[in-house]
Structure 1
Amino acid sequence: MCGRFALTAEKRVMAEFLALLLEENAPARYNIAPTQPILVVIAGESREPGSNMPQRRALLARWGFIPGWVKDPRDFPLLINARAETAAEKASFRAAMRHRRILVPASGFYEWHRPSKESGEKAQAYWIRPRNQEVVAFAGLMETWSSADGSEVDTAAILTTSANAVMAPIHERMPVVIRQEDFSRWLDCKTQEPRDVADLLRPVEDDFFEAIPVSDLVNKVANMGPDVQAPTGPPMSKPAAPKRKPPSDDAQLTLF
């Protein structure tokens, strides 16, 4: 699940990370909510000089995916996420998974740990950010929805996968992270079919994100300042690396 995220990196950092030209420096956004416009990256029509890969292009899309066959969005559920495991087969996302894969840049995202009602504990919000970089790219899907009067709106959803070791104590799902070296392959919908990029739709490494407890200010869309990310406690402990047993003498002998 990904219901809120932030994008606060400077234009220079994002332009370098995404390898594209950003025309203006957008204001920092600390609490991006569903139905709001979000920055997305698509493969352009023209080619990179000296390369067969299309140039990338940034545009704004409504966070809330609307399949092209929907008649009235008011009668359709709000789709802000798509399960990576089933998106290629689902009627709502099948065409976009094949033809309109995108990147959704973010500085991190928010998630809530919701204890059972029996425990009596309050839900805890977490700000989840990369440990070693200022911006990350989530896998996303886009669809341009046309109304009966001919107006069009670009819409988007973020793909999610099962949680890694950091996220599992908080929530069972997390956004799919596309690594920088895989941007071109993910965006290339002309030669890369869904089955060709299925290996990218996996949980990111356990030590990629850190989870920081924050207040419930982020619950309200009206709270848009940096105070929504103010820590209320220390980050969750980094997952320990699994211990490896030393090889036995018998195991060593099998090498010869």
Structure 2
Amino acid sequence: MTYFLTRRMRTVFAFVLLFFSACFTQAQVAPKLTVTPLNDQVYVHTTYGIYGKTPFPSNGLIIKTIDGVVLVDTGWDTDTNTDNTRQLLQWVSDSLHQPVRLCIVTHAHEDRVGGISELRKAGIRVVSTPLTARKSVALGFQAPAGVLPNDTTFIIGQEPIRCFFPGEGHTSDNIVVWLPNQRILYGGCLIKSVAAFGMGNLADANLNQWAGSIRTLMKQFGNARIVVPGHQDWGDKKSMEHTLQLLAKHAAAKK
């Protein structure tokens, strides 16, 4: 009788552990959107996707101008679930009380273009380079308007915004966004956070050109005050040097 009760207790205990483990895992799958101000005009939006079976943060920008809001990259969404981008639009509406005029997407991965359908539903124009537009369609996402040259500056609400292609790296189409008035460089996934210990997703990477592209950024935007990578923590220009170090470490490990 004692053995039976002990076995039963173990079974119940195991069930309870599985239940709470499942609840914990489910809670970890979709952390809510967070928005962090860099100053009174520029914010980092952070949404989460699953990378390596673990929730992982993805950064984009919210740029407030006198003529409305510009987004850089959508939330990390899929073609069937755009909750992150929906949360992002709701935050802008509730917190900034301005319309979103435009979204710039920096390359064709789901953490950048996954929410395009949600933006289109809201009547928001989404732009990219022609290459990103073609690659987005190939991945099953709606195509942004592929109108951006490799180096172009436009002004929205008196805020100059420069979109620049420094060369291949994380992908063949990765661009960065430079805000000269703010001295903020959004490097997207081309730049690795100083919190990163590895190179991350290399499925579409050009490891032969990546370091050269980073050096181009360092020459072009050496006066950057804040550098925002596509994932994890942001900070100053050290992240560009850190990316070079990670690339060198990765190359050495392959020899």
TM-score (norm 1): 0.23
Higher relative contact order (CA 8 A, sep 6+): 1
Structure having the larger proportion of residues in strand:
1
